């Protein structure tokens, strides 16, 4: 899967010999902030509170403590990622960091898992968008499944084409929907403050004896953390679905215009989906450049200089997850694998700190924070397995290990078939794409 032997694939699709096939750095500070907000503020803030309270066994004190701890953990994780991101500003994110620190095999396991879990998560977001976008038109009646699936497929491919054609358009859409979602959250926040002030004594009385209810066990606490961390974490991609508390809130606070909240949730999910698809395309692109995915995925469109094949690849997988509804439930089986990868990423920081002490680091996190993140990741991975073992965890583990069946022959031993080159050339001409150019130091953009 190396690049050198595929140099001939560039012929026939380049407009001139002097053109440079490289990803353009067109995203500025403001656009970057919008993408981060778009990833963090998605469906989670609207749906996670119910899950946290449920797995806290309706214990208000435990639920509030978990929300606080989730905020601290997310801050710790963000600080660790800030060091890695500034020291190694690579387009592959966690994948690139794991590959540099821990080697090719852990990085391949990461991308093997991400190639399926992240598109499955995008499929879930698309279905959620369809659910909330159509809910105002159906009132209390259920939305037809066929309509939801058709709308989900439409929004997936619309965003896939948008991200495959123009980075500027994708960032413009992200900016607009970030502004709209922050307006929606402001309405909810202001409404909550007004309710608290009006019924101060009644509302504060609910916090008396906050810890008097049943205390959840370790497995339930881990499940509650999954819910809370989904709402906080911009890197979190899976969620156990629950009833959206924002809709209940709207029915109680602004019943005359309660339809505004489902629409606001749809807007928020749309922005999160756009941001997630943008980053997933870059992850697939980076994995292909390293030889862990087919070479076609690392090619750029000759007209727009965007990773169009990577976008097509990830959008197609997401579409497959949308068609049969029962497959969407399989995304829950990979919940622990996400935190396993976060633990590996934070472990990469520790390894690089000792192995490459002279690596330029504009920002350095307090090292015990990284150790703490590794410990939290281990708890979130092991607690559900040890205290509440389920067969789906075995399935997820077998799936991750199944990546070895691909890695050993095609990556480690570099097994290669001539018909793959012919197919790649055909698709290259069809899609009008070309491999990225190499810099003087031998690296690709």
- Dump the DSSP string for 325-362: HHHHHGGGGGHHHHHHHHHHHHHHHHHHHHH-TTS--S
In the prediction, which pLDDT does 158 show? 93
Q: Which of 363, 369, 337 is nearest to 350 (CA)?
A: 369
Kindly provide the b/e burial profile for residues 155-178, where b requires at least 16 CB atoms within 10 angstroms of the residue's own CB.
Answer: bbbebbebbbbebeebbebbbebb
% of the chain residues with pLDDT over 70: 75
* Secondary structure (DSSP) of 67-122: HHHHHHHHHHHHHHHHHHHHHS--TTTHHHHHHHHH-HHHHHHHHHHHHHHHHHHH
How far is 262 from 129, CA to CA, in rounded Å?
Answer: 9
Does residue 391 fall inside a structural domain?
Answer: yes
Q: What is the CATH number of the domain that holds 347?
A: 1.20.1740.10
In the prediction, which pLDDT does 136 show? 79
Does residue 211 fall inside a structural domain?
Answer: yes
| CA neighbours closer than 13 Å in the CB half-sphere of residue 8 | 6
How far is 153 from 165, CA to CA, in rounded Å?
Answer: 18
CB atoms within 10 A of CB 393: 18
In the prediction, which pLDDT does 242 show? 34
444: pLDDT strictly greater than 50? no
In the prediction, which pLDDT does 44 show? 63
Cα R_g (the chain), whole angstroms: 23
Question: DSSP assignment, residue 444?
Answer: B
**Contact call for residues 349 and 376 (beta carbons, < 8 A):** no
Does residue 435 fall inside a structural domain?
Answer: no
Does residue 91 fall inside a structural domain?
Answer: yes
Proportion of the chain in helix, strand, coil states, percent, rounded to 5: 75, 0, 25
In the prediction, which pLDDT does 53 show? 82
Does residue 270 fall inside a structural domain?
Answer: yes
Q: Provide the whole-model pTM.
A: 0.77
374: pLDDT strictly greater than 60? yes
Does residue 443 fall inside a structural domain?
Answer: no
367: pLDDT strictly greater than 50? yes
How far is 160 from 126, CA to CA, in rounded Å?
Answer: 12
443: pLDDT strictly greater than 50? no
In the prediction, which pLDDT does 13 show? 41
Does residue 440 fall inside a structural domain?
Answer: no
**Contact call for residues 29 and 19 (beta carbons, < 8 A):** no
CB atoms within 10 A of CB 430: 8
* Secondary structure (DSSP) of 240-264: -----HHHHHHHHH-GGGTTHHHHH
Does residue 428 fall inside a structural domain?
Answer: no
Give, in order, the Cα–Cα distances in Å from 24 to each of 91, 162, 294, 322. Answer: 12, 16, 22, 32
In the prediction, which pLDDT does 101 show? 93
CB atoms within 10 A of CB 23: 16
**Contact call for residues 240 and 44 (beta carbons, < 8 A):** no
125: pLDDT strictly greater than 90? no
DSSP lists the bridge partners of residue 433 as 301
In the prediction, which pLDDT does 239 show? 26
* Range(s) of the domain holding residue 207: 21-421
385: pLDDT strictly greater than 60? yes
Burial class, 84, CB count within 10 angstroms (exposed 0-12 / middle 13-18 / buried 19+) = buried
Residues in contact with 187: Cβ distance below 8 Å, sequence separation at least 6, in sequence order: 260, 264
Q: Which of 345, 384, 147, 381 is nearest to 235 (CA)?
A: 345
In the prediction, which pLDDT does 241 show? 29
207: pLDDT strictly greater than 70? no
Long-range Cβ contact pairs of 428-431 (< 8 A, separation 24 or more): 428/9, 428/13, 428/296, 428/299, 429/12, 429/13, 431/299, 431/301, 431/308, 431/309, 431/312
- Which residue has better confidence, 217 or 366? 366
Highest mean pLDDT among 51-60, 118-127, 160-169, 371-380: 371-380
Confidence label for 116 from pLDDT (cuts 50, 70 and 90): confident
Domain count, the chain: 1
Instruction: Please give the mean pLDDT across all residues of the chain.
Output: 77
- Which residue has better confidence, 286 or 9? 286
């Amino acid at each position: 899967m190396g690049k050198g032997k595929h140099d001939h694939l560039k012929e026939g699709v380049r407009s001139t010999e002097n053109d440079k096939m490289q990803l353009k750095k067109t995203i500025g500070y403001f656009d970057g902030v919008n993408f981060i907000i778009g990833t963090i503020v998605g469906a989670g803030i609207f749906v996670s509170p119910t899950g946290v309270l449920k797995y806290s066994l309706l214990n208000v004190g435990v639920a509030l403590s978990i929300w606080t701890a989730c905020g601290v953990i997310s801050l710790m994780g963000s600080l660790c990622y800030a060091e890695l991101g500034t020291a190694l500003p690579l387009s592959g994110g966690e994948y690139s960091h794991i590959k540099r620190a821990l080697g090719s095999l852990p990085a391949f396991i990461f991308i093997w898992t991400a190639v399926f879990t992240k598109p499955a998560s995008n499929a879930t977001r698309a279905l959620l968008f369809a659910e909330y976008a159509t809910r105002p038109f159906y009132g209390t009646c259920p939305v037809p499944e066929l309509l939801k699936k058709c709308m989900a497929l439409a929004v997936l491919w619309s965003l896939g084409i948008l991200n495959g054609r123009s980075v500027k358009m994708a960032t413009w859409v992200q900016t607009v929907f970030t502004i709209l979602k922050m307006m929606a959250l402001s309405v909810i926040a202001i409404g909550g403050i007004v309710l608290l002030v009006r019924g101060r004594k009644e509302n504060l009385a609910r916090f008396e004896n906050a810890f008097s209810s049943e205390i959840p066990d370790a497995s339930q606490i881990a499940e509650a953390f999954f819910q809370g961390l989904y709402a906080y974490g911009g890197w979190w991609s899976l969620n156990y679905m629950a009833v959206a508390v924002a809709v209940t809130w709207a029915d109680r606070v602004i019943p005359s215009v309660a339809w505004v909240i489902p629409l606001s949730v749809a807007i928020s999910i749309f922005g999160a989906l756009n941001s997630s698809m943008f980053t997933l395309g870059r992850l697939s692109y980076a994995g292909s450049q390293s030889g862990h995915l087919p070479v076609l995925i690392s090619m750029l469109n000759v007209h727009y200089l965007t990773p169009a094949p990577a976008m097509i690849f990830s959008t197609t997988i997401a579409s497959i997850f949308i068609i049969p509804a029962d497959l969407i439930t399989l995304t829950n089986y990979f919940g622990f694998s996400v935190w396993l990868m976060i633990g590996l990423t934070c472990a990469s920081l520790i390894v690089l700190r000792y192995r490459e002490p002279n690596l330029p680091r504009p920002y350095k996190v307090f090292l015990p924070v990284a150790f703490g993140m590794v410990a939290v990741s281990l708890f979130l991975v092991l607690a559900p397995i040890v205290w509440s073992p389920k067969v789906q965890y075995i399935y997820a583990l077998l799936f991750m290990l199944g990546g070895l069946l691909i890695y050993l022959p095609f990556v480690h031993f570099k097994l290669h078939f001539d018909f793959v080159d012919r197919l790649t050339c055909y698709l290259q001409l069809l899609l009008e794409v070309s491999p990225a150019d190499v810099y003087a130091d031998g690296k690709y953009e």
